[in-house]
Amino acid sequence: MSERTATLKLDDLEEALELPVMSGTIGPDVIDVGGLTAKGYFTYDPGFVSTASCESKITYIDGGKGVLLHRGYPIEQLAEKSDFLETCYLLVYSKLPNKEEKTKFINNIRYHTMVHDQLSHFFNGFRRDAHPMAIMCGVVGALSAFYHDSLDITDERHREISAQRLIAKMPTLAAMTYKYSIGQPFVYPRNDLNYAENFLYMMFSNPCEEYKVNPVLSKAMDRIFLLHADHEQNASTSTVRLAGSTGANPFACISAGIAALWGPSHGGANEAVLAMLDEIGDVSNIDEFVARAKDKNDPFRLMGFGHRVYKNFDPRARVMKETADEVLAELGLEDSPLLKIAKRLEQIALEDPYFIEKKLYPNVDFYSGIILKALGIPTSMFTVIFALGRTPGWIAHWHEMISHPYKIGRPRQLYTGPAKRDYPE
């Protein structure tokens, strides 16, 4: 931490305020404004776009340079050399595991993938056409009613058990949500399959015939999970931290994160990509829709291009593009009408001066939407898969906060309503 200060002069204060300036390992310095409250002032920052709500050692993003680091490791290296469960370990335990640690962690996850049988009856309370995210909010929160033996958040071992249970059971619950929506029986996980293979098996197998998991597709699924594992202090992660600051149990906190992720401005982006491709309809219509996207007076927007954080190329998109090409080649879907539209839009975005100047490059949602569509996963399940992948990041941030002294979250406001007034006689 730096010992520098920033001087703030206010007209109604005789003396200037000296505010501490804090420096992290990398990234912008932060001004500690906590002392303003005693002077009768709050800061005003809607959306928290200029506010550091916490100190964290988990993930670093430099949007201008297109950098994403997990515990210091570039996302591109993790996607190439690691896998999802190893990245989970990295996020939660602050370091890459050695061979023995990784084997033990994988086994702990593998042997906790089943859920309590009574939980399966919980699904019967939902309509068959309920949105999968509505079901996920309910069943994940309900886990605390089944696994209340390890809910003491002040006990490090309890926190570890809950973390591993959540990571292990999320694929099972996600697949159960899908099976329930299509009226098929639930499929139990298999201990001889890895994490991504198990998810695809529980999604697409049925009792009537054997289902063999394609290794190319399971690798793609694992990479989608990995690339969504954490993304710093976004809306859902901040929601998990805020809920956690009340002392709520981890299952409730992750359920809150799922609810926040459900919002179309956050987790629904790849679903919006597919809706856009359906709206365009045919390659012959692309020029018309691109012209509309360039028209500032037209409400139409190309989904899956550009990113609020990355002002350069999304580093996850490079990896996801390679994966998309592998999946399409494996499934022979290069000539699919919908995917032809996507590939043509990608070409335009990478070559058209308008998109290049505004840095509207294809992002991770664009490519993940294409991959999930190719895998046969319905668009209503896209955000569920996002939540599955993001779970270790949520857990890591919750654990980091609970492991150190913390305060309950209590944002302030700029009140612009009526002043005090008497009730009419």
For residue 280, give Cα distances in angstroms to 82, 304, 336, 367. 37, 14, 14, 17
Q: List, in order, residues 6 or more apart from 193 with CB less than 8 Å away.
A: 201, 213
116 is catalytic: no
Query: Helices (H), strands (E): how many in the chain?
Result: 17, 6
Residues 324 and 367: beta-carbon distance below 8 Å: yes
Query: How big is the CA angle at 51 (ends 73 and 36), to the nearest 5 degrees?
Result: 135
Q: How many CB atoms lie within 10 A of CB 209?
A: 6
- Residue 19: phi and psi, rounded to 5, are -105, 130
Which is catalytic among the residues 228, 365, 397, 399?
365
What are the strands of the beta sheet with 59-62, ordered from one edge? 59-62, 67-70, 73-74
Helix (H, G, I), strand (E, B) or coil at 83: coil
Q: Please tell me the distance from the alpha carbon of residue 47 to that of residue 309, in angstroms, as a whole number.
A: 13
Q: How many CB atoms lie within 10 A of CB 20?
A: 16
Find how far residue 352's CA is from the centre of its chain. Answer: 30
Q: Please tell me the distance from the alpha carbon of residue 114 to that of residue 394, in angstroms, as a whole number.
A: 21
Residues 275 and 301: beta-carbon distance below 8 Å: no
Q: Please tell me the distance from the alpha carbon of residue 304 to that of residue 393, in angstroms, as a whole number.
A: 22
Q: What is the DSSP letter of 424?
A: P
Which is catalytic among the residues 231, 307, 397, 399?
307
Size of the chain, expressed as the number of residues it contains: 425
**Stretch (H or E) spanning 70:** strand 67-70
Closest CA to 136 of 233, 258, 243: 258
- Residue 305: phi and psi, rounded to 5, are -125, 130
Closest CA to 109 of 193, 216, 219, 225: 193
Structure-block tokens of residue 122: 């919980």
112 is catalytic: no
Q: What is the DSSP letter of 231?
A: -
First-residue to last-residue Cα distance in the chain? 59
Active site residues: 307, 365
